[in-house]
Structure 1
Amino acid sequence: MARVFEEGRLVYGMQLPVQSQSTIYAEPWEASAGAADLAAVARAADRAGFGYLATCDHVAIPRRLAAAMSTVWYDPVATLSFLAGVTERVRLLSHVAIVALRHPLISAKQYATLDHLSGGRLILGVGAGHVQEEFEVLGVDFERRGAVLDEVLDALRVALGPEEFPSFEGEFHRFEGLGQLPRPAQQRIPVWVGGSSPAAIRRAAVRGDGWLPQGDPRDRLPGRIARIRELREAAGITDPVEIGAITEALYVGEPGWDTGRRTLTGKGEALAESLREYRALGVDQIQVRFRSRDRAELCDQMTAFGAEVAPHLND
């Protein structure tokens, strides 16, 4: 069992700005931001009681996708390690690491070191990936990436376990007699699986400790949560699974500027009332995001959320 947060309470975390700048969600101010901005946001999250901070993962973006995705994708291990040094409590989540792109011993070395240095704050979020050119240039079969990911997850369970000299044999990877220190600070690294396809749902159910949906609207969550629980029961897995959701964009208070028609705005108690619906659907943690025009406004929004919304999430 690798439960991260207390069962029965709705926890909140967030994807960091700056470190990935897809046009789907990046704010204009992020284009000129950097390390100091990331550190300030991370510290604000730590102070405001956020459960985790999350970073994305892409190795290289092909030109055909660059206009939409941008090529700004910070390395998750380097970024989370940097943020571990400027925070004290907040958990550090890869959302999501495309671990099939790398040999499991490389990922084990990186993430074990991160967990060791951060005092046991890692949550390993993983996903299958979708950019074919990344797989091709790194010599990984894109068409079989799901099977590769499944095996890598099995290998990582061993390689991130307590043994200094882990051993594993599979179709794509095998290793034995090779020692890795330091070991993770946590006895078992929690693995949250990202994605909303049938394959991702099954992977989260049978190989994960948690599920990170890919932006599913509220009305789709109950069916997918039920499917995860059904698959776990069929596989004889009795440990609890931590269910996530990504909320609508938020703005605490009255923005005074156009935040978009889909943004939830208003006073703290009203926002909390809306967000409590996620808990009623079976969600354990929500990933929130805020509209902002600069770093200061984002940090103010995070502070306001911690002070005005969070105290009512579990009323």
Structure 2
Amino acid sequence: MSYGIQLPVQSQSTLYTEAWETGAGPEDLVAVARAADAAGFAYIACCDHVAVPRRLAPVMSTVWYDPVATLAHLAAVTERVRLLSHVAVVGLRHPLLTAKQYATLDQLSGGRLVLGVGAGHVREEFEALHVDFERRGAVLDEVMDALRAALGPEEFPEHHGKLYDFADLGQRPRPAQEHVPVWVGGSSPAAVRRAALKGDGWLPQGDPRERLPAQIARLKALREEAGIEAPCTIGAIAEPLYVGRPGWNPGRRTLTGPPEEIAESLRAYRALGVDQIQVRFRSRSRAELTDQMAAFGAEVAPDL
């Protein structure tokens, strides 16, 4: 079972941001990305919001780094770790624009892109960019089809749909990967169905452990009914972690303790059918976070 991490600093919702992140910046992102690379993390991930309305800013904040720019910057200072958009609200942009950005990122990084996509949830963001919020699911479905074409091997991709129609328009550089994996984020019935029928992977958004078996069973049943035999990478977001016994209160939901106890708890995800877990560490500083990441890679990961 592989493990990845949503980067700190680049999004600062009050739901998960640690206090030290509010004063952090690019040098901290670089340090965390390098720590992930060194500790065997499968990916580092970056979120996507174009603009946050004033009514949501007290909870969401307005700090949301652009995922393409951020991941490209971090690609240049890492060697192995993959680069995940978790998730890109690709319905907000024309698919040819999205394809140009992410194909370039994949080429520059040597084929390390994983394109995570989601439908989005902020109405004002859609309205400002003149995209139909009520039909965002249908928009995402077509954009995914268009991106399959535009991120494929053809220099002149072709797509003819209800919303987007293009042909005879060349785009280079092509992605370095022959097939860019597309993971679908979301836990609604529509998101699970989209992941099953259109995705290479599923990124549930905070499903507790007890909900995962039914969700995974439904996803697999949908793929079987559709005759899809290709593997699908099943993800999960683990509880907050702290390797060892903290001398401070990391929160009631945090998994703490010796590495072997944490590994035992996380192995239960694998038994549920999960292929990769996204982990998050409680921390009071960048140094504490990178120390936690190193301890996880060295002492927990071998037992996963």
TM score, norm. by length of structure 2: 1.00
Match of residue 185 from structure 1? 176
SS at match of 2:115: strand
Alignment of structure 1 residues 1-315 onto 2, 5 Å: 10-313=1-304
Letter of the 2:101 partner, please give it: Q
For residues 205-261 of structure 1, what are the alpha-carbon distances to aligned partners after superposition, in whole Å with 9 as ceiling and x for unaligned?
000000000000000000000000000011110111100000000000011001011
Q: Could you list the runs of 5+ residues in structure 2 that have no partner in the other structure?
A: none
Q: Provide, for residues 175-225 of structure 1, a one-character-per-residue CA deviation record: whole Å limited to 9, x for no partner.
A: 111100000000010000000000000000000000000000000000000
Aligned to 1:219, the other structure's residue is in SS state: helix
CA deviations on 1:147-192 (whole Å, 9 max, x unpaired) are 0000000000000000101111101111111100000000010000
For 1:50 and 1:164, the matched residues in 2 are separated by: 32
Could you say which residue in structure 2 is the equivalent of 1:7?
none
Give the Cα separation in 2 of the matches to 1:151 and 1:104. Answer: 9
* In 2: Cα distance, 1:51 partner to 1:255 partner: 26
For 1:4, the equivalent position in structure 2 comes to none
In the TM superposition, residue 104 of structure 1 has moved relative to its aligned partner by 0.1
Query: In structure 1, the residue corresponding to 2:240 is in which secondary structure?
Result: strand
Tell me the distance in 2 between the aligned counterparts of 1:174 and 1:296: 49
Q: C-alpha offsets along residues 72-102 of structure 1, whole Å, 9 cap, x if unaligned?
A: 0000000000000000000000000000000
Tell me, in whole angstroms, the C-alpha distance in 2 between the residues paired with 1:11 and 1:68. 31
Letter in 2 for 1:183: R
Letter in 2 for 1:230: A
Q: Secondary structure of the equivalent of 1:63?
A: coil
Q: Quote the offset at 1:126 in angstroms.
A: 0.3
TM-fit CA distance, 1:140? 0.3
**1:24 & 1:153 partners in 2: Cα distance?**
29
Quote the Cα distance in structure 1 between the aligned partners of 2:109 and 2:143. Answer: 24
SS state at 2:236 partner:
strand
TM-score normalised by the chain length of structure 1: 0.96
> 1: distance between equivalents of 2:94 and 2:198?
18
Distance of 1:50 and 1:169 partners within structure 2: 38
Question: Separation in 2 of the partners of 1:85 and 1:201?
Answer: 34
**How far apart, CA to CA, are the structure 1 residues paired with 2:144 and 2:108?**
22
CA distance in 1, matches of 2:46, 2:8: 9
Q: What is the alpha-carbon distance in structure 2 between the residues aligned to residue 162 and residue 285 of structure 1?
A: 27
- Equivalent pairs counted in the alignment come to 304
Alpha-carbon distance, 1:285 to partner: 0.1
* 4+ long deviations beyond 4 Å: none
Distance 1:291 1:52 in 2: 19
The percentage of aligned residue pairs carrying the same residue is 76
Cα distance in 1 for residues equivalent to 2:17 and 2:183: 24
